[in-house]
């Protein structure tokens, strides 16, 4: 009998249930763990996701997309399998997919974190025989600080910039990270503005029932508005573009797990980095794997070889699984389009419209194989 879930050139496939999980090519039935662009791709005939994430997914892949959703925990029968969604704690609506066939349970975790995040349901361990996990930050050097420490740092940075008459430009993924940060910062420091890519997702979060502090879309402000003292949330790809000029004088900071390492921040010539991620740090990965009770661990994107070797040293049956998921990208522009629908380049913008096209997310085709 074949494996319950295996990688094909279209994505992770469950033959017994005849569905794909987070396929990277169009398929008949796609089960989607969450709406980040490397997991939720356009063009499949049917999509299934967890209920809290339906609006976000619709926003990302189109209003007309054939999306069905189910509440967390509800069991569905898909051909020979029983499928259910369980919170992954990554972003709003993010899920682990539990697949059961004749008593054998697999869990595909997508992207997940164990740290608390008030914008989404907390991670829930899923007991299983085989656990498919990512390993974006699968090295012991990655250890996140608590939310308290993180926001103390961010607030202090914002206040200092305010004192210095600067705008605080906080660069973060438009989906998930931006809302998590927004919910955590001290709104009494000053006004908060958003890049269009962030604002439109804020609206989706609001309409999904997640309360967020008040923000204003930067481009809706009248020309000549001064942003000194304000916090501006924008996707990383907005960094260094003509769009940013209106914020001068500005201090830019990138909120990403990669910022934990000084060299990575410096190579990107960023002044400030806040190490914060919606992925697991090393200890969380180990804890999550332990909590599943799984005897087989398949590791996808990230430091997979290292995590696999470590788990094998611990006596677990671990192997890597090649996918096209990207985790948290180290380069600024690589994760998602930052298109601000309202932004029109000013007439004097030296480079006109230089915002990144979506080509960064299209990875060249390559062979998928399972290595164990």
Partner 1 sequence: MKHFTRLFVALDETTKTTEKVTAMSEYFSTCTPADGAWTVYLLTGRKLRQLVPTARLAECVKEQAGLSDWLFGESYDAVGDLAETIALLLPPPTNNSDVPLREWVEDRLMPLRSKPEAEQKQLLVKYWNELSTSERLVMNKIITGSFRIGVSQLLVVKALSKTSGVDEPTIAHRLMGDWSPTEEFFTGLFSSDTQDADASRPYPFYLAYPLEQEPEALGEISDWLAEWKWDGIRSQLIRREGKTFIWSRGEELISERFPELMEAAEQLPDGTVIDGEILAWAEGEVLPFNLLQKRITRKSLSKKLLQEIPVALMAYDILEHNGIDVRSQPMSQRRKMLVQLLTPGALDAAPSCRGQMNPIFRVSPSLMVATWDELAESRTNSRDLKVEGIMLKRADSAYGVGRRKGDWWKWKVNPFSIDAVLIYAQRGHGKRASLYTDYTFGVWHDGKLVPVAKAYSGLDDAEIRQVDAFIRQNTLEKFGPVRTVKPELVFEIAFEGIQHSPRHKSGVAVRFPRIARWRTDKPMQEADSLETLSSLINGGSSQ
* Residues near partner 1, by CB under 8 A: 139-143, 237, 239-242, 245, 260-263, 266, 269, 271-272, 303, 306, 309-310, 313, 331-333, 350-352, 354-357, 359, 364
SS3 readout for 75-99: CEEECCEEEEEEECCCCCCCEEEEE
Nearer to partner 1, 263 or 315 (CB): 263
Q: How far is the CB of 5 from partner 1 (least distance, A)?
A: 28
Nearer to partner 1, 51 or 330 (CB): 330
Rounded to whole angstroms, the Cα distance separating 287 from 284 reads: 5
Which residues are 86's β-sheet partners?
Answer: 96
Nearer to partner 1, 93 or 273 (CB): 273
Cβ atoms 193, 221 nearer than 8 A: yes
Q: Using the Cα atoms of residue 281, residue 112, residue 198 and residue 344 in order, give the sign of their dihedral.
A: positive
Closest to 15 measured CA to CA, from 26, 3, 25: 3
Report H helices in the chain. 54-61, 147-163, 177-184, 196-207, 262-267, 282-292, 304-313
Q: How far is the CB of 139 from partner 1 (least distance, A)?
A: 6
Q: How far is the CB of 169 from partner 1 (least distance, A)?
A: 13
Nearer to partner 1, 28 or 271 (CB): 271
Q: Using the Cα atoms of residue 235, residue 233, residue 172 and residue 349 in order, give the sign of their dihedral.
A: positive
Q: How far is the CB of 341 from partner 1 (least distance, A)?
A: 18
Which residues are 272's β-sheet partners?
Answer: 253
Nearer to partner 1, 59 or 260 (CB): 260
Q: How far is the CB of 151 from partner 1 (least distance, A)?
A: 16
């Amino acid at each position: 009998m074949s494996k319950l879930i295996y990688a094909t050139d279209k994505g992770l496939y469950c033959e017994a249930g005849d569905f794909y999980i987070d396929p990277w090519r169009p398929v008949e039935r796609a089960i989607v763990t969450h709406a980040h662009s490397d997991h939720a791709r356009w063009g499949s005939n049917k999509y299934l996701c967890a209920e809290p994430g339906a609006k976000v997914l619709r926003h990302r892949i189109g209003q007309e997309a054939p999306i069905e959703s189910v509440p967390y925990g509800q069991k569905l029968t898909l051909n020979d399998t029983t499928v259910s969604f369980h919170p992954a704690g990554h972003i709003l609506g993010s899920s682990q997919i539990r697949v059961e066939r004749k008593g054998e349970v697999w869990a595909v975790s997508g992207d997940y974190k164990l740290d608390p995040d008030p914008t989404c349901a907390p991670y829930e361990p899923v007991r299983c025989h085989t656990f498919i996990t990512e390993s974006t930050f699968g090295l012991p050097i990655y250890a996140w600080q608590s939310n308290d420490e993180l926001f103390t740092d961010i607030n202090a940075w914002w206040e200092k910039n305010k004192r210095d008459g600067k705008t605080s430009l906080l660069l973060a993924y438009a989906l998930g990270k931006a809302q998590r940060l927004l919910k955590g910062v001290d709104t009494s420091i000053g006004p908060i503005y958003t890049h269009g890519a962030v604002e439109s997702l804020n609206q989706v979060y609001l309409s999904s029932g997640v309360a967020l502090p008040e923000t204003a879309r930067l481009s809706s402000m009248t020309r000549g508005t001064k942003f000194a003292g304000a916090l501006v949330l924008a996707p990383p790809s907005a960094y260094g573009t003509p769009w940013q000029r209106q914020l001068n004088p500005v201090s830019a900071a990138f909120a990403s797990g990669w910022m934990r390492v000084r060299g990575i921040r410096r190579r990107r010539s960023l002044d400030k980095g806040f190490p914060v991620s919606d992925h697991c740090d090393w200890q969380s990965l180990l804890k999550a794997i332990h909590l599943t009770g799984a005897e087989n661990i398949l590791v996808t994107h990230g430091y997979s070889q290292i995590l696999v070797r470590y788990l094998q040293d611990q006596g677990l049956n671990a192997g890597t699984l090649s996918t096209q998921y990207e985790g948290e990208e180290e380069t600024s522009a690589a994760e998602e389009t930052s298109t601000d629908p309202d932004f029109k380049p000013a007439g004097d913008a030296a480079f006109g419209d230089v915002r990144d096209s979506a080509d960064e997310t299209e990875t060249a085709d390559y062979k998928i194989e399972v290595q164990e």
